[in-house]
Structure 1
Amino acid sequence: MLPSENRLRRREDFATAVRRGRRAGRPALVVHLRSGVTDPHVSGEESPPTRAGFVVSKAVGGAVVRTAVKRKLRHLMRERLARLPEGSLVVVRALPPAGDADHAQLARDLDAALERLLGGGAR
């Protein structure tokens, strides 16, 4: 499970990551990354934690399939939070093939997308 402080919840945070961040697409998902965002809602001098959110539409499948995909993605993202810059906003949008993908395929797609975003590759 993804820790509470690392969850993206507010609509404006999702919008910031999607509209102003970089994007990398893979067959089963698209990852949006906005690096080093300062959070105006958090006071103090410490840097904000990296936060991740997930978008899994009905195109992926029924409620049971969507919930399973979200759980897999949360688990995978928890293991990869340390690789991301502090204060980053990450939105993972599942595409329809994610409903049929197994854990290993989602992990490969997520790793490839993050590597592309962190490595500075072309869009």
Structure 2
Amino acid sequence: MNSGDTLTLELPKITRSTLALYAGASGDHNPVHIDIDACTAVGIPDVFAHGMLSMAYLGRLLTNYVAQERIRSYNVRFSAITPVNSTPSCTGTVVKVENGLAHLDLTVTLPDGTVTLQGSAVVTAN
């Protein structure tokens, strides 16, 4: 890995089925992710993706490029919701390589440019 390298991961559309399957796998059955009536009752127009689903997608971005055991740290900050039927993309940029470690900035972005998740990771460079 070299400073300036870019990693990308294109994702499929996040559908209601995606959210139901993730809810089942994760055990997170919060109604705002699967029940439109629960959403509209609190003023939210429709269901939206689990934040941890987006975090998992960024984890997939990392492990597509480096083996899991090379990941030294990984953290994120949630900045916006990911609406159902959106098609986010994941990107990572190597911002520096120092002392055998690559430092990456990570984002999940919607097609309209909204950044829903920002994060960083440190991986072994070799």
Could you say which TM-score interval applies, normalised by the shorter chain? 0.3 to 0.5
- With normalisation by structure 1, the TM-score equals 0.37
Greater strand fraction, Structure 1 or Structure 2: 2
Report which of the two structures shows the higher radius of gyration computed on alpha carbons.
Answer: 2
**TM-score of the aligned structures, taking structure 2 as reference length:** 0.36
Which is bigger in relative contact order (C-alpha 8 A, separation at least 6)? 1
